[in-house]
Structures are given as C-alpha cells and as structure tokens.
Amino acid sequence: TTANPDAKRLYDELIKDRAYNKLIRPVKHNSEKLTVYLGLRLTQLLDVDEKNQIMTTNVWLKQLWMDEHLKWDPLKFNNMTNISIPASELWRPDLVLFNNADGNYEVTLMTKATVYYDGRVIWEPPAIYKSSCTINVEFFPFG
C-alpha cells in the first residue's frame, strides 16, 4: 500500500518540525490547569482471590485531554481532522491505581492515540490490573 502523504506531512509538522517534547505539560502557559477526563471500561473479571483480597481485571482505560501543541488547520492538510500517533511519543498523564496489589500499575500495551486538529487527544489502552479490595463473600454466590 502507499503511505498517506498528508498524514506523514502532518505527523512531521506536529512532532518533528515543532520539536514536540513529551516531557512538557501540554499547556500554553505553565500556570494553566490541565483537565484529564478518565473512563474505565471493565471488559473481563479475570480472577478473584478471596483469601488475599485481590481482584484481577481486564480494562480499557479511556483518557482524554487537550494538548495545545498539537493543533493544526485541517485545510492545510487535505482536510485531515485527526491522526493516529503512538502514545509513547506524546505527553501522557501520570495515572496510578491507588489500591494496586502487584506493583505494576502502568499500561503495558502502548497503543496509538487519536489526535484531533483542535488539540484533543484520546487514548484508550487496554490494561490488566490487580487491585486489593475488601471482598465480602458471606452470601456468595447467592445473596
């Protein structure tokens, strides 16, 4: 297949030409607040360890934020309104599972994020979490 030249040109401008730095918070002014919207979709309950009070889940972790450094005019890029960019190349919010049970709380699969012309970034990676929680099994499986 032939690569999309408009997508390549847009990617080059956003990441290379502008010297995008994923370590810098994506706001115009340092005093600005940055809001990150978070959603969690449970896709599978993998394990419930009643004895150790640990639940293992398979989830999709949807994150949305605005990146002021990733805006463009779609008319300059053949009406492209979004582009997929590897999340590993973008600023990402530091999110931690507070009741983490195994020490690994980072997303293990670096999927691509969708970046929109208005600076909106949506990233929805899958993750497997082990979380410690109080499990009351007194009436399980019938309550």
- pLDDT for 106 equals 61
Q: Which of 85, 130, 84 is nearest to 108 (CA)?
A: 130
Averaged over successive runs of 10 residues, the pLDDT of the chain (143 residues) comes to 81 94 95 95 90 88 96 96 96 78 65 97 91 78 60
- In the chain, where are the structural domains located? 5-132
Side chain identity at residue 111, one-letter code: T
Q: What is the pLDDT of residue 49?
A: 86
Cβ neighbors of 50 (< 8 A, separation 6 or more) are 135, 137
Would you give the distance in Å from CA 117 to the centre of its chain? 18
Amino acid at 46: L
Position 23 scores a pLDDT of 95
CATH node for 5-132: 2.70.170.10
What per-residue confidence (pLDDT) applies to 55?
87
Asked whether the CA dihedral 82, 87, 88, 92 is positive or negative, the reply is positive
